[in-house]
Amino acid sequence: MTKESSDRLQINIRLSTDHTEKLLRLTKHATAGSVVFIGNDLTIPIQQTEVAPTTLANAVLSHALDQLTESIPASIVERPDQDIIENYDDAWANPGALPVAADPMHQFEIKRLIDIDIGGLDISFTNSSLFMFIAVAIISLTTIFSVRKNSIVPNRLQSIVEMSYEFVADMVRQNVGSQGKNYFPFIFTIFMFVLFMNMLGMIPYGFTVTSHIAVTFAIAMLIFIGVTIIGFIKHGLGFFGFFVPKGVPIFMLPLLVIIEVISYFTRPISLSVRLFANMMAGHTMLKVFSGFVILMGFLGGWLPLAVMVAFTGLEILIAFLQAYVFAILTCIYLNDALHMH
């Protein structure tokens, strides 16, 4: 059991299923002369008493298990042995959680892998950080090893990298023009990074980094700030003319300028939300259909399984398309900064 404060205590109740033991967490809060145990929509008021902690723990656990049997089949509940709570006073253990049902949102949970705290700032290394590093490592190693020999007749890996290079280079030429070649490395990096983060999320037990708005918004803000700086470097204060459409009657300018300013500053929002929403929605639907496969069993699960397989193929396509859309919109924003209206 883990002691979080002097008035808060966490008790673990051991439950057993056919093959797995799970822990149900109950939390005790001392308030106004009473103790309230909360766990899985269960609230049990217990009057404070001076009895021994072990005796109180036994009474609470017994009461809690009696209440839990109303929502949990009695066949999976196993009353804990005495040794689980014999060191109730000072044996504080990490709280567990009972996954009562498959949660489609559980796959997006950020988990700390290495706790890092500097000056009160939490910069822990998480599963999200891990998969970002994996994406960067795969892209770097693939690119380096594919062009190391630079064969006239390319192998498969070199062909894939060259196709990716030409794909992005053609995108930049068509949407930015000849001036865009200076910014090709940045756009190529953005495209490959988003693409590999999307694809890594399709691997079983993987983590979809781009399903978090914090990540997509950070990338979108990087693009937005960079493009704005380029616009001011290229045009100086004349870049403000971007918000004044040409050929518009003077009496309509105030309204159109406001619309243009709002449209410009919402770019990072639309860019980030589009990627985040598509990836989260797709993976949530996959988890929902996989739950139907399990619930309907061997005989009835074939239909949701077929839908899930088809949807997986669609999700892989969406993962590529979202990386493409992200990169091409970056090109369009860059073109606006370089050439204005």
Segments of the chain assigned E as strands: 8-16, 21-31, 34-38, 43-47, 112-114, 117-118, 121-122, 125-126
So where are the chain's domains? 8-100, 129-339
pTM for this model (two decimals): 0.66
Q: pLDDT value at position 10?
A: 42
Interstrand relation of 21-31 and 112-114 (parallel, antiparallel or unpaired): unpaired
pLDDT digits (tens, 9 = 90+) for 182-194: 899 999 999 999 9
- C-alpha 326/C-alpha 198 separation (Å) is 12
Residues of the chain with pLDDT under 50: 1-53, 69-101
* pLDDT at residue number 238: 87
CB-based contact 61:85 (threshold 8 Å): yes
What integer pLDDT is reported at residue 75 of this predicted model? 42
Residue 55 has what pLDDT? Answer: 54
Q: What's the CA gap between 93 and 23, in Å, rounded?
A: 11
Given CA atoms 38, 39, 41, 46 in this order, what sign does their dihedral have?
A: negative
Dihedral angle computed from the Cα positions of residues 28, 32, 33 and 37, in that order, rounded to the nearest 10 degrees: -20
Q: Are 166 and 172 in contact (CB under 8 A)?
A: no
Q: What angle do CA 185, 188, 192 make, to 5 degrees?
A: 140
Read off the pLDDT of residues 52-96 as tens digits, 9 standing for 90 and up: 445 555 555 565 555 554 444 444 444 444 443 343 333 334 334
> Cα(204)–Cα(197) distance, rounded to whole angstroms?
14
Q: What is the pLDDT at residue 204? A: 84
CA–CA distance, 64 with 39 (Å, rounded to integer): 9
Query: What is the reported pLDDT for 179?
Result: 85
